[in-house]
Amino acid sequence: MHRKLIFLYKKKFPKSFEKRVPLRVKQMVLYALFLITKHPDFGFHHIKILRAIGKLESAVGIYTDGDANTEALADPLFDAELVQIGQSRLLAEFGYRGLWLGGPLPASKWIEIKLGEVVLRREALQGKSEFRYQITRRPLAMFGNSEQLSVVDNEGNILGVWIVKIPGGDGTLKDFIVNKGGLDKKGGLKSRKKELEQRQREYLALYERVNSAFQKQCGRPIFILYGTLLGQHRSGDFIPGDDDFDIGYVSEETSFTGVRAEAIRIIQILISSGFTVSLNYEGKPFRIRDDLAGPGVWLDNRPVFDLGDGFSWLHKHARLKIPLADFRYPEEGLMSGHQILKPRNSANFLSEYYGPNWKTPDPDYSNASKFVAPYVLRGLSKVNLTLHEQRELKDKAARMGIAHRFKPLTLNTLYPVD
């Protein structure tokens, strides 16, 4: 539902139509979309319109804590502007989390996102037909007051050019990129080497604690996946620059609703055992940490299951021709000197998910724009917890005195911006 509504809003309403719709009507539509989806971009644009028509105070009770005032709704991105220069193959739009870029691509090998002449990000495409990327708030605050942003491909084709105006931007991003390197795959600033190495050590220590508790409390192990597995399988270490940690567990349920119900039971067990669990804006199960983990240290966990079709299903957006037994009976391995578990026939998993070139390190690779069949997206979205289920779980946690252990982003207030 979320994905369909966002698609309809962004791509099916022409700009000319949007301009003709009165602001009061648009704000009602955006508010309704926010209530249905809780997607922050709808809330962001709703507040912008309320601000424009002098009704900002009506947003306070919706998007902030009850005792806040309109000052809590301050957001530098409300005054940010985009001016498109010439024709563009790509869309660009500000949203709650930053500046979104995306759209169809020519048959290019790679693209570059440039601020003036400085390359913010180069991304290998490997046959992808669509591009998606988001520059997050922190680097946006380092733009100058008025900068040219462009996207070009390896053939020199200009895919989009915009003048980006960020009032109050400090203009330090270009120097930062030149000295420290480009933006990471998530649109943020790359961590310093020592900070990253410390975080990676904390990931491994957290994995050991979570795996031990998972086996005792849930009767099954957890194993590494995706980029974490890729680094371990190649070199016994993290991929250079990798700043997250992907894990999974086997669900023996054979329906989307069954997997979701089991995930809710597991979340209840984990938060009752002293762990903290978070859900993203889509309700995808789930991220996990404990009180010993440092700031920002979470494990990205997900169920792996078979619907009886001979495929293994798992977020993020995967339906792979791999037997569930490869995950059900993981094998031991070492990662930076720590014991980990990983799927049997890990090379098969990596080849299925990343393609035939998975063995070759590519610092410009990102999986964000990979094509995923719509029926796979629809199916996996049914594993996500509904708003009703998230509220129920939050209420149960509150009655147990552990509401702080369950952190669904959809139930958080959007403002003030953290």
pLDDT digits (tens, 9 = 90+) for 275-292: 999 999 999 999 999 999
**Is pLDDT at 5 greater than 60 in this prediction?**
no
**Is pLDDT at 3 greater than 60 in this prediction?**
no
Q: What pLDDT score was predicted for residue 10?
A: 54
Distance CA 314, CA 312 (A): 7
Q: What pLDDT score was predicted for residue 197?
A: 92
**Is pLDDT at 320 greater than 70 in this prediction?**
yes
Dihedral of alpha carbons 210, 331, 224, 393, sign: negative
For the segment 170-198, the average pLDDT, to the nearest whole number, is: 92
Q: Which residues pair with 115 in a beta bridge?
A: 118, 149
**Is pLDDT at 418 greater than 60 in this prediction?**
yes
Chain segment 153-180, per-residue pLDDT in tens: 988 899 999 999 999 999 999 999 999 8
Q: What pLDDT score was predicted for residue 395?
A: 97
Q: SS3 of 114, please?
A: strand
- Comparing 63-67, 218-222, 315-319, 408-412, the range with the smallest average pLDDT is 63-67
The verdict on domain 193-411 having CATH code 3.30.460 is yes
Q: Under CATH, which architecture does the 78-180 domain have?
A: Sandwich (2.60)
Task: Kindly list the domain boundaries of the chain, sorted by start residue.
Answer: 2-74, 78-180, 193-411
Q: What pLDDT score was predicted for residue 18?
A: 59
Chain segment 8-42, per-residue pLDDT in tens: 555 545 554 556 778 888 899 899 999 988 899 99
Token pair of 279, please? 């859900």
Render the burial of 178-217: b for 16+ CB within 10 Å, e for the rest. Answer: eeeebbbbebbbbbeeeebeebbebbbbbbebbbebbeee
Chain segment 112-163, per-residue pLDDT in tens: 999 999 999 998 877 677 888 999 999 999 999 999 999 999 888 999 999 9
Chain segment 42-73, per-residue pLDDT in tens: 999 999 999 999 999 999 989 998 777 899 99
Kindly report the number of other CB atoms within 10 A of residue 284's CB atom: 19
Quote the pTM value.
Answer: 0.87
- Tell me the pairing of strands 98-104 and 130-136: antiparallel
Q: Give the single-character DSSP code of 404.
A: G
Chain segment 223-264, per-residue pLDDT in tens: 999 999 999 999 999 998 888 999 999 999 999 999 999 999
